[in-house]
């Protein structure tokens, strides 16, 4: 812990820290590149839509000694359509037959049971009409759209519209990346994938909101000080919540990884696997976007405000002045920012950094100089 602990401490004090906002253009570039790749992959390769979207059937059998190739022949013979057969972890088979409708299911099921020499009772059949998957997907998109509108309204009220916009961009970014990876790698898209994708929404925003919350708190009285520009404070709040972000992502990914590798490993392909795969990809993308995209974007938008422009001018002027005097202002500045909590603060007071910096500086230090 100690190493990680001190890392947290040093991040907290701003001793170390990555200049997320300053280097944002690099990350924007990387994200744009990934997004373009994703869109290209989507248009060129397209998504490998599962049987649920084409109409067809998935039969899952119990343990059988029939080989995959053999089973494929059987399934094609009895259904008259192409079949895809996969071996499952438990010795059973997963047989996908595209293009059959729900009426033919029983016959094919019985045929398969005969061919594979298993009890028909032990075959699970999942039959879907061609429109069912689309319906699930359409409803999901509908839900996504409604959710986005609501969440933007909420964020605009709870925070401000710039943050809402940034969160939305980050969200779209995550979805694009996840969908793009599915297109590029060729993973199968099933209703399970859709479920996973929808969860990412909540998660991606959850992560973003935590960073924004800290940002909002730290920038509350930003115009009353002249030490930091908005971007710098944004950077600090990202760094300050970095440990949390890492921990949260690790803790969220562990169970998902458990589902993906262990649950999926035992059963082979299936809904568990579909959900956890898209979650895994999406969670990683969500953690990335809340740090590298959402917050820098807020800073970018904020810096366009006249108030923030004025602040930046003041801060820079002050620094120039200090530099001219040859004072080591920089170190003192960060010190004050961290030391500014008056000891007499009641425990319930929110936001120790709400105090105007100038007031603190004066306290017990007439000249503002320390040495």
- Using CB under 8 A as the binding rule, the residues of this chain from 196 to 225 that contact another protein are 198-199, 201-203, 205-207, 209-210, 213-214, 217
Q: Does the protein bind another protein through residue 104 (CB under 8 A)?
A: no
Residue nearer to another protein on the CB measure, 41 or 236: 236
Burial of 297 (0-12, 13-18, 19+ CB in 10 A): buried
Contacts with another protein in 308-327 (CB under 8 A)?
315-316, 319
Distance CA(158)–CA(213), nearest Å, equals: 9
Q: Does 46 bind another protein (CB under 8 A)?
A: no
Instruction: Kindly state whether residue 123 participates in binding another protein, applying the rule CB under 8 A.
Output: yes
Which position among 17, 165, 169, 309 is part of the footprint of another protein (CB under 8 A)?
Answer: 17
Among positions 27, 223, 341, 354, the unique one binding another protein when judged by CB under 8 A: 341
What single-letter DSSP state applies at residue 263? I
Q: Does residue 169 bind another protein (CB under 8 A)?
A: no
Q: Is 195 in the site for another protein (CB under 8 A)?
A: yes
Is residue 330 at the binding interface for another protein, with CB under 8 A as the rule?
yes
Q: Where are the alpha helices (DSSP H) in the chain?
A: 2-13, 24-44, 51-54, 68-79, 105-116, 130-158, 161-185, 191-218, 230-240, 242-257, 264-267, 271-289, 295-302, 306-325, 329-339, 357-362
Strand partners, 86: 94
CA distance 78 to 58: 14
Instruction: Point out which span in 32-40, 73-81, 122-130, 177-185 binds another protein (CB under 8 A).
Output: 122-130
Q: Does 335 bind another protein (CB under 8 A)?
A: yes
DSSP secondary structure code for residue 19 in this structure: -
∠ CA 300-178-202, rounded to 5°: 70
Q: Give the nearer residue to another protein in terms of CB position, either 16 or 36.
A: 16
243-302 positions binding another protein, by CB under 8 A? 243-244, 247-248, 250-259, 262-263, 266-267, 270-272, 275-276, 279
Q: What is the 3-state secondary structure (H, E, C) of 136-180?
A: HHHHHHHHHHHHHHHHHHHHHHHCCHHHHHHHHHHHHHHHHHHHH
Q: Which residues are CB-neighbours of 14 under 8 A, at least 6 positions away?
A: 236, 239, 334, 337, 338
Query: Taking the complex as a whole, how short is the minimal distance between the CB of residue 257 and another protein, in angstroms?
Result: 7
Of 30, 32, 82, 90, the one binding another protein by CB under 8 A: 90
Is 158 a binding residue for another protein by CB under 8 A? The answer is yes
Give least dist CB 181 to another protein, A.
Answer: 19
| Residues in 136-155 at the binding interface with another protein, rule: CB under 8 A | 136, 139-140, 142-143, 146-147, 150-151, 154
DSSP state of 278: H
Q: How far apart are CB 371 and another protein at their closest, in Å?
A: 8
Q: How many residues bind to another protein according to rule CB under 8 A?
A: 119
Choices 41-49, 73-81, 135-143, 173-181; region in contact with another protein by CB under 8 A: 135-143
Q: How far apart are CA 346 and CA 201, in angstroms?
A: 38
- Kindly tell me which of 40 and 339 has the beta carbon lying closer to another protein: 339
Nearest by Cα to 38 from 178, 168, 198, 195: 178
Q: Does 232 bind another protein (CB under 8 A)?
A: yes
Which C-beta is closer to another protein: that of 38 or that of 123? 123
């Amino acid at each position: 812990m100690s190493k990680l602990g001190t890392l947290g401490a040093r991040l907290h004090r701003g001793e170390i820290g990555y200049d997320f906002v300053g280097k944002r253009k690099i990350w924007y570039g990387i994200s744009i590149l990934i997004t373009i790749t994703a869109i290209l992959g989507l248009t060129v390769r397209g998504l490998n839509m599962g049987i649920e979207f084409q109409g067809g059937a998935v039969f899952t059998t119990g343990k059988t000694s029939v080989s995959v190739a053999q089973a494929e022949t059987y399934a094609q013979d009895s259904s008259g359509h192409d079949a895809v057969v996969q071996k499952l972890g438990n010795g059973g088979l997963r047989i996908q037959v595209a293009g059959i409708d729900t009426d033919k299911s029983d016959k094919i099921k019985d045929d398969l049971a005969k061919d594979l020499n298993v009890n028909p009772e032990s075959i699970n059949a999942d039959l879907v009409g061609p429109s069912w998957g689309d319906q699930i997907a359409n409803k999901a998109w509908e839900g996504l759209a409604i959710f986005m509108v609501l969440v933007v309204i909420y964020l605009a009220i709870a925070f401000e519209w710039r943050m809402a916009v940034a969160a939305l961009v980050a969200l779209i970014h995550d979805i694009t990346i996840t969908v793009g990876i599915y297109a590029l790698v060729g993973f199968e898209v099933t209703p399970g994938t859709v479920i996973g994708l929808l969860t990412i929404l909540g998660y991606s925003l959850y992560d973003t909101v935590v960073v924004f919350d800290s940002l909002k708190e730290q920038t509350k009285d930003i115009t009353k000080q002249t030490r930091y520009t908005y971007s710098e404070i944004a950077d600090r709040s990202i760094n300050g919540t970095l440990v949390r972000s890492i921990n949260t992502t690790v803790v969220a990914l562990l169970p998902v990884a458990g589902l993906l590798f262990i649950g999926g490993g035992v059963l082979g392909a299936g809904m568990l696997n579909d959900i956890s795969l898209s979650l895994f990809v999406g969670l990683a993308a969500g953690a990335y976007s809340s740090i590298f995209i959402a917050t820098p974007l807020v800073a970018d938008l904020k810096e366009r405000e006249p108030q923030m422009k004025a602040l930046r001018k003041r801060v820079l002027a002050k620094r120039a002045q200090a530099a001219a005097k040859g004072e080591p202002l920089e170190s003192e500045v960060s010190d004050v920012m961290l030391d500014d909590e008056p000891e007499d603060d009641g425990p319930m007071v929110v936001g120790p950094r709400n105090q105007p910096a100038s007031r603190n500086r004066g306290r017990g230090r007439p000249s503002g100089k320390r040495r």
